[in-house]
Each structure stands twice: as C-alpha cells, then as structure tokens.
Amino acid sequence: MRPPAALPAHLASAPFTVYEARAATIGNNRLRSSDLATAGRLLYLPAGWEFELRGLARALSAATPGAWISHLTAAVLLGLWLPPWYSGCRELHLSKPRALPQVRRHGVVGHTVLVFDDELMDWDGIRISTPARTWLDLAHTLPLKDLVAIGDQLVRQPHPGLEYRTEPWTTRLRLAALLGRHPKLKGIVKARQALELVRPGSDSAPETFLRLALTAAGLPEPELQVRILPDDPYSPPADLGYRRQRVAMQYDGGHHLTREQQSRDNQRDEAFNAAGWRYFKFNANDLADDFRGAARRVRAALPPVKRRLPYHLSGPNQGFDHHK
C-alpha cells in the first residue's frame, strides 16, 4: 500500500481547516488518510501533533464562521494574568453573536453574547476578543481581587524595551464605557466593583493584592511606583508607598533572582534606606498569607490615623476624635 502523499509544511505541523486543505489542492481521499484525525467539523489534526493552544485556537476560529476565541482561552493567548489554578488549562472557549446558533463542538465551551465590532480583533491570525472584552467576560467566574489584578494589568504602562507594546491595553475610562454598553451581562456588578479598584501602576498581581490588603486593613490607599525624588526619572521606584510618611514597600517575585535584577534591587534598597525611609520587602511567603502580616507591619510603621467617631458618639458639634 502506497504511503499517503506528504502534506505541505504549514499543514503538517498544526491543526488546519478543510478550507486550508482545499486551498492547498488536497482532496477528500487524502483527508481520510490514517496520518490525519478529525477534531470536529471541518477541522483536522496531523498525526503526532502535540497540544498547542495557539495553533488549535487559530484553526478552531477559522473553522467556525462568525465565531471568535474568548473568555479563558483568550486570556491565556493574550498573556493576561490568571490565578494559579488555571495554569496549563486546555479549555477552549468560542463565542458567537446572539443572532447565530451556539457553538456545539466536542471539547469546546460555546457562548452566545452581545458584542460590538471594536470588542473583537485579529491577533496573530486569530479572531479573538480584545483584552478589555476578555476581562469583562471573565467577571462572571473570577473572584473580585483577581479581576482587579487583570484590570491593573490592562491599564498599566508597559516597560520600554521589555515588552512588545508601548501603550496600555486600555484605560479606566474605556473600561467604564465598555461596562456601560453591557448593563445586563453576567458578572457586570462584580466588574463595576473591580473597576472602582483598578489603578495604573501595578506591575504584577501580587502588587495589586498587597495594595488591596492594605486598604482592607483600614490603611490609606498607597501611591504606586513611588520615587524618592518624584520628578527624577532616574530615582529608583518602589512598588508602593506613603510618601508623606516616608514608608515604601517592594514585592520581590521570581524574576528578582537574576543577577541583573538583584543588582538593580540592591541599588534601590540602598537609596531608600539612605534617604531614611521605612522600607519593607515582601515575597511569596507574604503572598501566601494574603499579606495580612505585611499589613500589620506597615500599620506599625505609620503614625496613628485620626478617625471620625460615629455621630451618635461624637455629638452634633464634635465630628472628630481629638484624643491622642
């Protein structure tokens, strides 16, 4: 028995659609060969192909007219932060407009949603929801703090030379406009709550969680990317801090273990200590504690905050507690 003819290189190493096969003049008999497997309607997998989300998502969206990659799959492909339990997840989410029937494919989670044209984009040959729309779609399933962390990622300014983007994915104003378009979407209430907490300036999810832990403990909201000399771009920044009280905080993640990063960290640490700031460094152990201990340490470094007494305790003309 003659072996099947070799496939073109671009079809031999990744999933492909029947449309791509026809464009390469591959007939139906060749598609039924033993070195190919079907992955649902109009979709084929070459023998020996190992799961790779991007390639499968591209073929899946191409094989489903009117559909786009969305939700968790879009978040993974776009590099949005996700909680650790989603690591290695192979869920495939595909959305369609409400006017079209829902996607029904084995191994695919289908959605029918209201969507506007500017909420979708072509990304590396894949029809996919924009980062902002992906964030909104995840609001129904993610916890609030995780939704805030992704929102912070969307609005932060990318680092020149370290990332392929030069502008934030979106802004808080654009996110607010997006929410206004979808007042009845599942998770919209949580999305509104998250947007109230989203801030530009957090470079990682742990930084977001530290900020949320401080405010949850009753501390003032800290400034982000605090420099000793605010107008000097060469003054090294700390992740968070209280400038007036000269208190700064830094979260050291895994990337801080490299020699180059440790050198920069040492210079920053020495600068803050030499300037007389109270300087705290937190790590994964503090993250595992949800930064509760970190919040207590920072509270001890801050001067007592004068608190407003309840009206029934203070009286009509005594709105503040003046006792030390």
Instruction: Using the predicted structure, report yes or no on whether residue 169 has a pLDDT greater than 70.
Output: yes
pLDDT of residue 259: 64
pLDDT of residue 306: 59
Q: How far apart are CA 249 and CA 240, in angstroms?
A: 5
User: Same structural domain for residues 183 and 86?
Assistant: yes
pTM: 0.82
Question: Per the structure, how many domains does the chain have?
Answer: 3
Contact by Cβ (8 Å): 85, 69? no
Element at 251 (helix H, strand E): strand 247-251
pLDDT of residue 124: 85
For tokens 């191994």, what's the residue?
Answer: 107
pLDDT of residue 318: 34
pLDDT of residue 79: 92
User: Same structural domain for residues 72 and 29?
Assistant: no
Long-range contacts of 93-98 (CB under 8 A, 24+ apart): 93/69, 94/60, 94/61, 94/64, 94/67, 94/68, 94/69, 94/70, 95/67, 95/68, 95/69, 95/70, 95/71, 95/129, 95/137, 96/64, 96/66, 96/67, 96/68, 97/66
User: Same structural domain for residues 239 and 170?
Assistant: no
User: Same structural domain for residues 124 and 173?
Assistant: yes
Query: How many CB atoms neighbour CB 208 within 10 A?
Result: 28
User: Same structural domain for residues 188 and 234?
Assistant: no
The CATH number given to whatever domain includes residue 228 is 3.40.960.10
User: Same structural domain for residues 96 and 140?
Assistant: yes
Q: Quote the domain boundaries for residue 185.
A: 53-200
